[in-house]
């Protein structure tokens, strides 16, 4: 058996062991009576809300860490579903075909759904809750919240400021870490170095064009990846109704993807082969990429080439980006507009090393050739660092640390 085959088999075994261990840990240490009770409640109760409604945000805060278990339908994105359910204002809970304007505590939801189980510890919730019990399940036991929001979109938007939208710290952490991994990607840095060398050869006496060309190339990459992010995120959102009912599994799938991608990077550290699966640009793409870059002689050409080069970089850079976008769609951003700051942050981090290399080359602290040599000398270490971050992030998501 070839050494490469043995190594891939070893990685598969490691993935299976890690995932099995995590799920065993979750099943035996986190499948508490509270989780079982909340799963029962979530199977019988659906929240109809709006991303612009502050009272809806309060309902989500009441659910706290259990929010991902519940089906949450946004009436602005899915007006037909709300009409079919008879929902004319929000927040509205639909439990066993009956509509309720809101709850003050999980205890009230427990009473409405008639789920049996232990009392829920609600002390960690950020919303103000009613700690009393309701007793038997009756409509009168539910205490409606003081206000609801109209289903009119214009009015709803005016009732909440952008700063009140739910931005979760863990989402920012995962976005930043995944962006750092992508920023370290060897193939993206190699493409920039080739661009700088091409411009420098064509403009030996006009060094400022190296700076402009590098920045224009970076701008093209930034714009290209931002557009890809918007398109992919919108694609994820088009399946929001389906994924909302399996949010826990989607989150686990994204985490497992991060672990697998991380192990591929670690494999490249142990036994490096150019064009590794999902970690570097496939070898068959490289001749065409070099042909495109060799035609660059000006900053304008660098911008146009940059847009084309992003297509060649997708196989080796899209892995972390897809995980980030999936996580953002599933947890962090209630609307496409609210996701834009995350996309800008991700892509800004992604291009930071490119900006540094361009400036260092322009100022003469180093040359493009020396940067390329440094990359080649340390490429295995770069893969190792990226792999450790990805595996750590995946495990942290699976175990609920972030």
φ and ψ at 399, to 5 degrees?
A: -85, -5
User: How far apart (Å, rounded) are the C-alpha atoms in residues 184 and 378?
Assistant: 11
Select the highest-mean-pLDDT range: 14-23, 154-163, 346-355: 346-355
What sign has the CA pseudo-torsion 52, 58, 61, 66? negative
φ and ψ at 273, to 5 degrees?
A: -130, 125
> Is residue 130 helix, strand or coil?
coil
Which of these ranges, 28-37, 216-225, 278-287, 293-302, has the smallest mean pLDDT?
Answer: 28-37
Instruction: Find where tokens 């659906």 sit.
Output: 46
- The confidence score (pLDDT) of residue 141 equals 37
124 contacts 106 by C-beta, under 8 angstroms: no
pLDDT, tens only, 165-198: 444 555 688 888 888 888 887 777 777 788 877 7
User: How far apart (Å, rounded) are the C-alpha atoms in residues 183 and 176?
Assistant: 10
- The confidence score (pLDDT) of residue 117 equals 60
pLDDT, tens only, 113-143: 887 765 555 444 443 433 333 333 333 334 4
pLDDT, tens only, 55-75: 888 888 888 777 778 888 888
Residue 101 — pLDDT band, cuts 50, 70, 90? confident
CATH annotation of 33-161: 3.40.30.10
Q: Provide the whole-model pTM.
A: 0.58
Higher pLDDT, 145 or 358: 358
Please state whether the peptide bond connecting residue 91 to the residue before it is cis, i.e. omega within 30 degrees of 0: yes
User: How far apart (Å, rounded) are the C-alpha atoms in residues 257 and 252?
Assistant: 9
Residue 150: left (phi > 0), alpha (psi -120 to 50), or beta? beta
Residue 166: left (phi > 0), alpha (psi -120 to 50), or beta? beta
Q: Please count the residues of the chain.
A: 402
User: How far apart (Å, rounded) are the C-alpha atoms in residues 3 and 313?
Assistant: 28
288-312 average pLDDT score = 80
Residue 330 — pLDDT band, cuts 50, 70, 90? low
Residue 226 — pLDDT band, cuts 50, 70, 90? very high
User: How far apart (Å, rounded) are the C-alpha atoms in residues 319 and 314?
Assistant: 8
133-148 residues labelled b (16+ CB within 10 A) or e (exposed): ebeebeeeebbebeeb
pLDDT, tens only, 237-270: 776 555 555 556 667 777 788 888 888 888 888 8
User: How far apart (Å, rounded) are the C-alpha atoms in residues 68 and 254?
Assistant: 15
User: How far apart (Å, rounded) are the C-alpha atoms in residues 20 and 12?
Assistant: 12
182 contacts 345 by C-beta, under 8 angstroms: no
Domain boundaries, the chain: 33-161, 169-398
Q: Token pair of 4, please?
A: 């490469």
H helices of 47-185, where?
A: 54-63, 79-85, 106-113, 153-158, 169-183
Beta bridge partners of 99: 94
Longest Cα–Cα distance of the chain, Å, equals 85
């Amino acid at each position: 058996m070839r050494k490469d085959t043995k190594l891939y088999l070893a990685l598969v075994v490691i993935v299976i062991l890690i995932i099995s261990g995590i799920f065993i840990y979750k099943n035996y240490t986190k499948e508490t009576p509270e989780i079982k009770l909340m799963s029962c409640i979530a199977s019988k109760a659906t929240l109809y809300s709006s991303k612009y409604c502050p009272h809806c945000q309060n309902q989500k805060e009441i659910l706290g860490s259990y929010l991902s278990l519940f089906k949450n339908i946004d009436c602005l994105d899915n007006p037909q579903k709300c009409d079919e359910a008879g929902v004319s204002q929000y927040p509205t809970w639909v439990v066993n075909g009956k509509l309720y304007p809101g709850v003050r505590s999980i205890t009230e939801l427990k009473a409405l759904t008639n789920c049996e189980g232990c009392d829920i510890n609600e002390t960690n919730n950020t919303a103000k809750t009613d700690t009393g019990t309701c007793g038997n399940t009756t409509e009168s036991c539910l205490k409606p919240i003081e206000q609801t929001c109209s289903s009119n979109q214009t009015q709803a938007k005016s009732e909440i400021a952008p700063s009140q939208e739910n931005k979760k710290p863990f989402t920012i952490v995962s976005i930043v870490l995944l962006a750092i991994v992508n920023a370290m990607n060897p193939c993206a840095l190699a493409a920039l170095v080739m661009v700088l060398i091409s411009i420098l050869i064509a403009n030996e006496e006009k060094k400022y064009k190296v700076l402009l060309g590098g920045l224009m190339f970076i701008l093209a990459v930034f714009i290209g990846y931002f557009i890809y992010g918007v398109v992919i995120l919108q694609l994820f959102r088009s399946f929001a109704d389906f994924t909302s009912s399996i949010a826990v599994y989607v989150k686990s799938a994204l985490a497992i993807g991060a672990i697998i991608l991380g192990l591929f990077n670690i494999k490249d550290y142990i036994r490096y082969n150019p064009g590794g699966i999902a970690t570097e640009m496939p070898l068959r793409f490289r001749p065409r990429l070099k042909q495109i870059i060799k035609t660059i002689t000006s900053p304008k050409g660098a911008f146009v080439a940059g847009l084309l080069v992003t297509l060649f970089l997708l196989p080796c850079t899209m892995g972390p980006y897809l995980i980030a976008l999936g996580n953002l769609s599933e947890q962090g951003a209630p609307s496409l507009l609210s996701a834009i700051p995350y996309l800008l942050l991700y892509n800004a981090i992604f291009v930071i090393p490119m900006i540094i290399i361009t400036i260092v080359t322009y100022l003469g602290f180093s040359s493009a050739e020396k940067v390329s040599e440094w990359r080649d000398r340390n490429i295995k270490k770069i893969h190792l660092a990226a792999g450790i971050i990805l595996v750590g992030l995946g495990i942290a998501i699976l175990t609920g640390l972030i």
